[in-house]
Structure 1
């Protein structure tokens, strides 16, 4: 006689109970229908198109071979564009800056927030599962029939909102664009900080050269004052000559004092960029200015992909466009599939037995019939937000073009100015030499010497300023061009 198979109630209930079989069939049917609807549904709302902005075919102040020979193939800026200046101290500062800069740390944290928002939006594409257990004791009145009763419960729940109209997908699209905008913002912050660091560094180096010039000038003025006093004692100079020489020496001293505290403030700015206290920072290396490098400019259309702030503004326009679809999806019903199952019993021993089992299953279709115009207002607000972001994108493009043109015209003008300043410096030095010889010969008074010395010092200082301004303008041009950024890059540094 074959062995008798005794089915386990808790395992085979779903196969033997008619209600359970019906529930299983209903579950499969609902899931199949929901999956088909979700796959065939299209997302409501407008599909994104980049806002159109005319950028022109070429820059009005392009170098036209002045910096780059006409037969040279197009070049791109290197990722470490500051190495174009060939300054080891600057390279070291650039390497140290990302590790300690607090503005960059803040921007990185904001990017992580945008990435987390994308993960949160993606979670809406998946079902939600939950479990709970409970122990309750309840009673009524004071009679024997109202004695308190204990109930033990264990249940699991599952729910899934079917994305029929693309609300969740548009939400994910908006979050993804927000994350990309956050990455562009991080790159823009990094570029701005590096540009600021380079300009501050060139400012300190220029100030050091100015200080060395003033130190030499003070020595010359001190010797001139001593010579004038000796000439006064010999009866060949007047007290007015001594007063003029003394005034000139004190004025140069005052210039050096002012230059000193300004240089210290620039060094403090570098320290903060590196994340250090000003008292702990010391700029190493000898004073000097690097040569001005050539910068590949390219064409205006490339600026749309090379500027991180332009890329960020474009991604925010895409984010605002996706939110229009999110707002429009509120006009359509929401389909939610939910299921619950578990055990409930009055005794712990029979807690998970078949008689204590319960389950529920069913779809829910919800639609707001009247909301006082809230949904229409939300759609209008989303469209207005997109229009604002599209205008902001176009304005960002125009500002980027203006910054490039400004840097180009300034850089080219400074090349011509430096040549003129060098000629003026040579003439001032020659004038000073001749006036000094005439004074020693008794042909002119000392006031003429003071004027010639003042002119020569001013010419020296201006020539140094122009050299530093050329480096600053080149740094600003590199930043205006977007550094080595590309809109397809993923920010990782």
Structure 2
């Protein structure tokens, strides 16, 4: 009885420990696969750190608000109150070839992201073939020697690569980050074209006001020339006075011709920005010397908000994320790839038996392949990916620093130009007053024409300088809005 029990006990032992041993090996294999997959994954991503100041040094009278930056509307150009500018800006979205190019590049990046995601799905192929062949009579040991045979084949196959070590996932993350960067590039290009159009438009209108000023000056100089000529005929003025008056008049006419050339060139630039041939585009001159456009209030912001408000900064950050994901792709090259394949179909030498059960064939099985020796190519690939990440991070920090500089420049320009315009306005008024007094004294014979000539030149120069300052103020205002990101609203992105 004891021997029998011992025998039965020994027979039961393997049955009890077999499943345990199988589960242990399964757990070990699973743990090893998870460990290897962790080694192959891309490093945890965080945007590169950069030390930014708490406030803008040059903000001056426009301090940042604790609750956030002043809102800049998406159609920010409407704040200038010019209906013609509004109509031109509306054409950028539909006609600008520069913007169309950026959109096309975005569509390309999105297509590449979709192509990368397709690797998650099995690839299924199908094929049909017919082949008629004859084997030579002189082939020894072949059962088909001297025979002609047909081969009808219909096959279906499927293959799938499980993403064991994160290669596919990292590739998808990189492609998606690049697509997000391209989307921000589109926003940056759009903002750039909008700002350039506003600059050129304000330039055209400023030249229109200068042209009107020069035309008024020419009319005034013509009257003065008549006055001097009459005085010369009466023996009161000299021939030199007449020559000086005529030279002053013709010099102003030459300035007007040069100004009109500059306006024409700016008008051509506007045509290109709105996507129209320069030959068919024209912008009617503004009438008078008034300033219909208004300077909008200077927006307030904080340096840290540039990371959320500038599309070029967002694009640079997304490229850093893409470079980080590429490190994961390079790491995955160190590990083998597993391919699961399934194939089957029908094959026969005659159509009569083609669809019968014996004509079936199939194959199923996994394939594991990896590189054992490559002379350091994979290590060099990982080093290259890390170097590209460092370069992208440096480019991101450079973009942020340049953005801060542009905002500081914008705030400084607006403040300085406002002070300069106030002083220049007083100077222009004083010059006009001095010219009026000088002309009155010349009519009375109290001063020579040379004194009037100097006063005329000074008055015209002051008026043109004031108009130039007005144009610079508008340009600085547009530049600050652009530097702050315009009305762009960043798209939410997820760190990989």
2:106 equivalent to 1:103: no
Instruction: Confirm whether residue 339 of structure 1 aligns to residue 342 of structure 2.
Output: yes
**What does residue 321 of structure 1 align with?**
324
1:116-135 pair list within 5 angstroms:
116-135=111-130
Establish whether residue 187 from structure 1 lines up as the match of residue 182 from structure 2: no
Deviation at 1:440, TM superposition (A): 1.5
2:468 equivalent to 1:470:
no
Quick check: 1:59 aligned with 2:56?
yes
CA–CA distance in structure 2, aligned partners of residues 207 and 220 of structure 1: 19
2:154 pairs with 1:154: yes
Q: Which residue, out of 417, 421, 424, partners 2:420?
A: 417
Give the deviation of 1:75 after TM superposition.
2.6
Quote the RMSD (CA, aligned, Å).
2.2
- The alpha carbon displacement at 1:64 in A equals 3.0
CA shift in 2, pair 1:72/1:56, >3 Å:
closer
Relative to the length of structure 1, the TM-score reads 0.89
SS at match of 2:293: coil
**In structure 2, how many angstroms separate the alpha carbons of the residues matched to 1:409 and 1:392?**
25
- Equivalences for 1:446-461 in 2 at 5 Å? 446-461=449-464
The alignment of Structure 1 onto Structure 2 pairs a total of residues equal to 456
The correspondence for 2:384, drawn from 381, 386, 391, is 381
Report if aligned partners of 1:202, 1:289 keep a CA contact under 8 Å in 2: no
Gap runs ≥5 in structure 1: 1-29
Q: Please state how far the C-alpha of 1:98 moved relative to its aligned partner.
A: 1.5
1:120-178 deviation line (CA, Å, top 9, x unaligned) = 00011111000011111121214794121101111100000110000000000000100
* Runs of 5+ consecutive residues of structure 2 not aligned to the other structure: 1-25, 139-143
Question: Which of 37, 41, 45 is the matching residue for 1:48?
Answer: 45
Q: 1:434 — aligned with what?
A: 437
- 1:358-379, Cα deviation, whole Å (9 max, x unpaired): 1111100001000111101100
User: Is 1:210 aligned to residue 201 of structure 2?
Assistant: no
Matches within 5 A, 1:29-44: 41-42=37-38, 44=41
TM-score (norm 2): 0.88
Mean Cα deviation higher: 57-66 or 149-158: 57-66
Aligned residue in 2 for 1:225: 225
Q: Distance in 2 between matches of 1:318 and 1:440?
A: 77
Match for residue 115 of structure 1 among 110, 118, 140: 110
Between the aligned partners of 1:118 and 1:239, the Cα distance in structure 2 is: 81
Contact 1:206 1:289 in 2 (8 A): no
Q: Please tell me whether the aligned partners of residues 127 and 159 of structure 1 are also in contact (alpha carbons under 8 angstroms).
A: yes
State the match for 1:3 in structure 2.
none
Distance in 1 (CA, whole Å) between partners of 2:478 and 2:238 is 51
Q: Distance in 2 between matches of 1:89 and 1:176?
A: 39
Written as runs of structure 1 = structure 2, the 5 A alignment for 1:249-264 is 249-264=249-264
Cα separation, partners in 2 of 1:475 and 1:65, compared to 1, 3 Å: closer
In structure 2, distance between residues paired with 1:339 and 1:273: 56
Q: 2:399 aligns with which of 396, 399, 407?
A: 396
Distance 1:72 1:325, change over 3 A: closer
In the alignment, what sits opposite 1:91?
86
For 1:234 and 1:331, locate their aligned partners in 2 and report how far apart those are by CA, in whole Å.
103
**Contact 1:289–1:468 under 8 Å retained in 2:** no
Q: Distance in 1 between matches of 2:293 and 2:210?
A: 15
Q: Is the 8 A contact 1:38 1:162 kept in 2?
A: no
Match of 1:351 in 2: 354
Which stretch shifts more, 363-372 or 432-441? Answer: 432-441
Q: 1:72 & 1:349 partners in 2: Cα distance?
A: 82
Report the 3-state secondary structure (helix = DSSP H, G, I; strand = E; otherwise coil) of the residue aligned with 1:348.
Answer: coil
Q: 2:298 aligns with which of 292, 295, 316?
A: 295
Q: Label 1:65 to 1:410 Cα distance change in 2 as closer, same or farther (>3 A).
A: closer
* Alpha-carbon shift at residue 457 of structure 1 (Å): 0.4
Q: Distance in 1 between matches of 2:434 and 2:448?
A: 15
Using the TM superposition, give the Cα deviation of residue 436 of structure 1 relative to its aligned residue in structure 2, in angstroms: 1.2
User: Separation in 1 of the partners of 2:334 and 2:267?
Assistant: 59
1:136–1:158 Cα change, 3 Å: same
